[in-house]
Structure 1
Amino acid sequence: MSNLACGCPGSQVRTVEKKENSDNSQTGRIGSELRQWPTQLHLVPPSAPYLQNAHLLIAADCAPFAYAEFHRDFIKGKVLVNACPKLDDTSPYVDKLAAMISQNDIQSVTVTIMEVPCCGGLRMFAQQAIAQSGKDVPLEIVVIGVDGERRN
């Protein structure tokens, strides 16, 4: 566990255990695909055990609200970190992401951003972090429209 400045017990690093083959056909509800806690980029330490050999998803804070199938289409099988390039203090993001990639054999990075200009910062942070890590990690950028549709 990492010592965090806020000291909040809710920020404790943990893996979320999933029940396999959960059948929601009777209720019509889609189950959560979240595999770990916390998700906020500021709170996830590069040493979190769930990052080892993970497929990393970097999501703009607004993307899951805009895209209805976000859990199924993006979170499933990935470790999620989320951030807002407009409202967050982003100064540590490139170094933190680079540490996550270099220390954990990250298999791939997917970045989900909104079509608004400020979200482009997450794309830039991911590109710079991969370069800084010195690793050749596949990068996919997915743009979500404010209407909830995938743009690419």
Structure 2
Amino acid sequence: MIRKIVHIDEEKCNGCGLCIPNCAEGALQIIDGKAKLVKDSFCDGLGACLGHCPQGAITIIEREADEFDEKAVEEHLSRMENENHGKNQKPAHHNAHHHIGGCPGSMMRQINREVKDENVKVASKLRQWPVQLALVSPSAPYLYRSDLLIAADCTAYAYGNFHNDFIKDRTVVVGCPKLDDNDYYTEKLTEIIKNNDLESITVVKMEVPCCSGIAMAARIARDRAGVNIPVKVVTISVDGEILQREYL
């Protein structure tokens, strides 16, 4: 049948993953660094993901495609949820696929860790205040010629040695690209990078796709500021491990 369906221009797609949480059917996945439509029957063609692609890579077209299958979507989302929960955890009850939302960053999971020594105390390495990106002034004196850490706010909770490994000797700004305005983050970071002759830029983000937005904001801000500083990106797993280090 001919119907409306999502189309992704792979040349424009940079694999940021911001479209993934906004597809309630879980029809989109990042595969080989690009957003892909997993299956035609998972896409309702409504285009809820369109406005969340900063590259304009997603459009709605009309073409021959399998009919949208709501039952198949529910089964697909249930499988996704079970994979994230693990075999020993019960999936959350749901009556409709919209209750899950298809967002890997919002899926529940339980993490069991062995506590080795509850009495160990770690001194804070934070050297400035405030830390929320929305509150930090681009002209704050502590930013000038500093090593800047841009952190997704969940990272400090997921990674146990965050202060020693990341905050120490750095100026810190934190935010959440999923809950806040990532365009505002980009503008604010552009001002900070342009006006402060930074020594280095490090981004720490979570592994979930929606968290890629903060790394993208840092890269775009660096480019707009016209400075030649590599952006180091460190990815933390939900289990609290460092998964990847790369430079943008």
Q: Which among 37, 40, 59 is matched to residue 151 of structure 2?
A: 59
Q: Which among 125, 139, 142 is matched to residue 231 of structure 2?
A: 139
What is the deviation of 1:140?
Answer: 0.4
TM-score normalised by L of structure 1: 0.80
CA RMSD of superposed structures (Å): 1.0
Aligned to 2:193: 101
What is the deviation of 1:30?
Answer: 1.3
Code of the residue aligned with 2:175 in structure 1: it is A
Code of the residue aligned with 2:185 in structure 1: it is Y
Q: Which among 157, 160, 164 is matched to residue 72 of structure 1?
A: 164
Does the aligned pair in 2 maintain the 1:107–1:138 contact within 8 Å? no
Code of the residue aligned with 1:109 in structure 2: it is I
What is the deviation of 1:134?
Answer: 0.3
Aligned to 1:128: 220
Runs of 4+ in 1 over 4 A off after TM superposition: none
Aligned to 1:87: 179
Q: Secondary structure of the residue that 1:92 maps to in structure 2?
A: helix
Aligned to 2:240: 148
Aligned to 2:204: 112
TM-score normalised by L of structure 2: 0.50
Aligned to 2:90: none
Aligned to 1:34: 126
Number of aligned residues: 126
Q: Secondary structure of the residue that 1:112 maps to in structure 2?
A: strand
Which structure would you say has the larger RCO, counting Cα contacts within 8 Å and 6 or more residues apart? 1
Deviations 1:38-94 (A, max 9, x none): 000000010000000000000001000000000000000100000000011233111
